[in-house]
Structure 1
Amino acid sequence: MGSVPLRSVVFVLCITPFIGLVIDGLNSGLGPDPAEQVMGRSGQWALRMLLLTLLVSPLRQWTAWSMILSCRRILGLFSFFYASMHLASFSHFYIAWQPSLLLDELIRRPYIAAGFTAWLLMLPLAITSSKAWQRRLRRNWRKLHRLIYPATLLACLHLLWQARSDISESLVYTVLAALLLAWRLIPKKGSKGTL
Structure 2
Amino acid sequence: MRRNFPVWAVYGLGFVPAVAAFGAGLSGLSGPDPIRALEQSLGLWALRFLLAALCVTPLRRFAGVNLLRYRRALGLLSFYYAALHFLAFIGLDHNFDWAEIGREIVKKPYAFIGMACLLLLIPLAATSSNGMIKRLGAKNWTRLHRLVYPAALLAVAHFIFAVKSWPLEPLLYAGAAVSLLALRLAPKKSRSLEQAGNA
Find out whether 1:55 has 2:71 as its counterpart. Answer: no
Q: 1:185 and 1:166 mapped to 2: Cα distance? A: 28
Tell me, which stretches of 5 or more residues in structure 1 are unaligned? none
Q: 2:60 and 2:3 mapped to 1: Cα distance? A: 15
1:95 CA drift (Å): 2.2
Residue 137 of structure 1: aligned partner: 136
Count of aligned pairs: 190
Cα-to-partner distance string for 1:120-142 (whole Å, 9 max, x where unaligned):
00000011100100111111111
Residue 168 of structure 1: aligned partner: 168
Normalization by structure 2: what TM-score? Answer: 0.88
**CA distance 1:160–1:26, shift in 2 (3 Å):** closer
Stretches (4+) displaced over 4 A = none
Residue 182 of structure 1: aligned partner: 182
Residues 16-165 of structure 1: pairs in structure 2 closer than 5 A: 16-66=16-66, 68-138=67-137, 139-165=139-165
**CA distance 1:29–1:77, shift in 2 (3 Å):** same
Q: Which amino acid aligns with 1:103?
A: G
1:2 CA drift (Å): 4.9
SS of the residue 2:186 aligns to: coil
User: 70-79 or 9-18, which moves further after superposition?
Assistant: 9-18
Q: 2:128 and 2:172 mapped to 1: Cα distance? A: 28
Cα-to-partner distance string for 1:17-73 (whole Å, 9 max, x where unaligned):
01212332343322221101110100100000010010011111233233x101000
Does the 8 Å contact 2:160/2:166 carry over to 1?
Answer: no
User: 174-183 or 100-109, which moves further after superposition?
Assistant: 100-109
User: 8-17 or 121-130, which moves further after superposition?
Assistant: 8-17
Q: 1:166 and 1:181 mapped to 2: Cα distance? A: 22
User: What is the percent sequence identity of the aligned residues?
Assistant: 38
Cα-to-partner distance string for 1:56-110 (whole Å, 9 max, x where unaligned):
11111233233x1010000000000110111110101232213222221112101
Q: 1:164 and 1:109 mapped to 2: Cα distance? A: 11
Q: 1:23 and 1:96 mapped to 2: Cα distance? A: 20
